[in-house]
Chains A and B, each alone.
Chain A
Amino acid sequence: MAQDDHSGTELAAADSSHAETVPAVKTGTALIQSDAFENPGFPPHRPRVTDEDPKKEKRAQRTVYTLFYLSILGSIWAIAAYMLFPMEGNDVGDVRLNNLFIGLGAALALLGIGFGAVHWAKAVMTDVEIADERHKVGGNQVAREGAVKVFQDADRESGFSRRAVIRNSLIGALLVFPLPAVVLFRGLAPQDENPVELLSHTMWKAGTRLTLDPSGVPIKASDVTIGSAFHVIPEGLSELHHGKLEEKAKAAVLLMRLNPDELNELPDRASWSYDGIVAYSKICTHVGCPVALYEQHTHHLLCPCHQSQFDVANHCEVIFGPAARPLPQLPIMVDDEGYLVAQSDFTEPVGPSFWERH
């Protein structure tokens, strides 16, 4: 059955003499240390039921070919299911039936072959214990010299070392070959723009109105009752046709109104809120998930991805989790008509750390 690559002989017979192959060398007075691990040899051979009982062998054979026939049925069923359960309509339910029945057929086809083959090998094929000895990894001297000679011959015949111009031009060609890929992939990155600059600025400008996501309706300060949470996008974002999602991914803001007594503001940010209304970036400073799980009593903001928690009452400082920085605050004020507007862009880049920002 299993044969050694080199000798091509079956080793099962040789194995029985394993214990006697210790070289007969006179030890003199030297103390021989016995090996801590002795080869226990094979466990006693235990015949299978299929070896002893012809009926059971027949049965095992039947099981094997039944499994193979089931596999054939499975394959045919997969083809039939493709035709019987087409994905033609707009109904997603069709996809489920189609995938389910094709999948069941394909699974039966593959599992039938797999289980059949394993059962065949285990229950019906010859059952003898054999040891497949490892051969030495290194070849002998002759083989090594032969290999060296092959390389030398090839070098001499091709002139790889001798014809330096050809060789060097080939090396040059191989080095230049990946360059188109580098240029093409570079084309996927922002063009003619500094990515650091792009990441550092959002759509918010002085005077940009805060509007509702997704409708773009501007928000009055009086609309925001205590305990409210508004999901906010900058004015004009909902009308963008190009790069809308990129802008939204940076500019999304959560607007909350706390009782002003409970709001503990940094002195230099005291003018950034309006009567307890605060606006913070929704993009987590850890890896950029949207942080919007706002608890109106505890004033905690929870990021669902890695459980970073921010305390809105304390300028969104990190109170738990892996986020490195507080959420950036958007300075807001109220315009003449009572609408909430941004005082400026965020004063720091929103979102996670990147190469120019830590």
Chain B
Amino acid sequence: MNRSKRRTGRRHPLATAALLALGLVFTGGAYAAFSTTTAQAEPSPTSQETIEEGGKLFQANCATCHGLEAQGTNDGPSLIGVGAAAVDFQVGTGRMPMQMQGPQAEQKPVQFTDEQVKQLAYYVASLGPGPDIPADSLVNGGGDAANGAELFRINCAMCHNVAGAGGALTEGKFAPPLTDVSGVHIYEAMVTGPQNMPVFNDLNISPEDKRDIITYLQYVQDNRSPGGFELGSLGPVAEGLFIWIFGLGAIVAITVWITAKSN
């Protein structure tokens, strides 16, 4: 009934919305197509052009603290020999360039495009040998989750929590949650030991074992806890808070109801 009435109008009321949606789809599609074409032109690690571009980015964005030759200053460590993996992790997760001094450099929106991150990484890698960005086969989660879980419990869970939910360290520092961290960044963090995290080199945890750890973390993320509501997987703190507030709250409420005089 309504519809037939509206058809007499000049324009369907949903026309504006449809037009908007169409426009968005086209823009988004075009953008996606455009960005994939740029992604295909991945900077080659060895090309002189990549390193030069990275050098320019470095001078403009990093040299203030790390020195013009990445030799380090009082404000920032030397980057000679940290390798492409360290730069790809620090810049690729938005930790660098650092916003301000604090207990630790925190994650924030990434300041560079993927291409620029790679250019920076290969520029720093050209200064001295260091860990490289890992191959896709090591970070796509095709390993043994059970082995990864055991290694994670031994090497990582004390700081990052057994479910990868993160945890507190000393003096305002913290181990960040590992949910929603890409496999390549987890791998790079293990191999370079960013900030206060210890280094787990390939002789401590082999590349295959690192792949298994990433597999485990992805498994935990995809298969939520069979116990139901996780409360952030934070363990006794969150669970205690929940039961103290809601469990005791319910008991108090029921006690009040039992002893109150009926209307």
Contacts and interface: CB of A to CB of B under 8 A. Distances in A.
A350 interface: no
A256 B199 CA distance: 10
A130 interface: no
B150 A290 contact: no
Interface stretch (B34-42, B133-141, B190-198, B211-219): B190-198
* Interface residues on chain A, size class: 35 or more
A228 B200 contact: yes
B86 to A, nearest CB: 12
A296 B198 contact: yes
A298 B199 contact: no
A329 B193 CA distance: 24
Interface string B79-106: 0000000000000000000000000000
A92 interface: yes
Nearest to B228: A96
Contacts of B258: 118, 122
Contact of A296 (B155, B175, B197, B226): B197
Interface string A200-238: 000000000000111000011001111111110000000
Contacts, number: 80
B226 A92 contact: yes
Interface stretch (B20-28, B43-51, B113-121, B165-173): B165-173
Given A96-B228, A296-B193, A302-B170, A227 B199 contact: yes
Contacts of B197: 296
A229 B203 CA distance: 12
B253 to A, nearest CB: 12
A34 B240 CA distance: 51
A250 interface: no
Contacts of B3: none
Interface string A300-338: 101010000100000000001000000000000000000
Contact of B170 (A49, A122, A223, A298): A298
A304 B167 contact: yes
Nearest to A321: B170
B158 A304 contact: yes
Interface in B40-86: none
B158 A214 contact: no
B263 interface: yes
A293 B157 CA distance: 9
Nearest to A319: B170
A267 to B, nearest CB: 28
A151 B252 CA distance: 47
B262 interface: yes
Contacts of B203: 219-220, 223
Nearest to B161: A304
B11 interface: no
A228 B263 contact: no
A212 B204 contact: yes
Contact of A214 (B154, B169, B199): B154
A50 B262 contact: yes
Contacts of B226: 92-93, 95-96
A295 B199 contact: no
Chain B at the A interface: SS class:
loop
A293 B169 contact: yes
A225 B262 contact: no
A214 B261 contact: no
Contacts of A219: 203
A228 B199 contact: yes
B199 A122 contact: no
A46 B262 CA distance: 10
Interface string B233-263: 0000000000000000000000001100111
B159 interface: yes
Contact of B262 (A123, A228, A302, A304): A123
A100 B228 contact: yes
Given A49-B263, A228-B204, A230-B204, A295 B154 contact: no
A269 interface: no
A295 B196 contact: yes
B111 interface: no
Contacts of A220: 203
A297 B194 CA distance: 10
Contacts of B196: 295-298
B51 to A, nearest CB: 26
B109 interface: no
Nearest to A127: B262
Contacts of B169: 293, 295, 302
Contacts of A297: 195-196
A172 B61 CA distance: 89
A156 interface: no
A167 interface: no
Contacts of A304: 158, 167
A294 B158 CA distance: 9
B201 interface: yes
B170 to A, nearest CB: 5
Contacts of A226: 199
Contacts of B261: 46, 48, 122
B228 A309 contact: no
16 contacts: A93-B226, A96-B226, A96-B228, A212-B204, A214-B154, A220-B203, A225-B201, A227-B199, A228-B198, A293-B175, A295-B196, A297-B196, A298-B170, A300-B170, A302-B169, A320-B170
Interface of A: 46, 48-50, 92-93, 95-96, 100, 118, 122-123, 127, 212-214, 219-220, 223-231, 256, 290, 292-298, 300, 302, 304, 309, 320
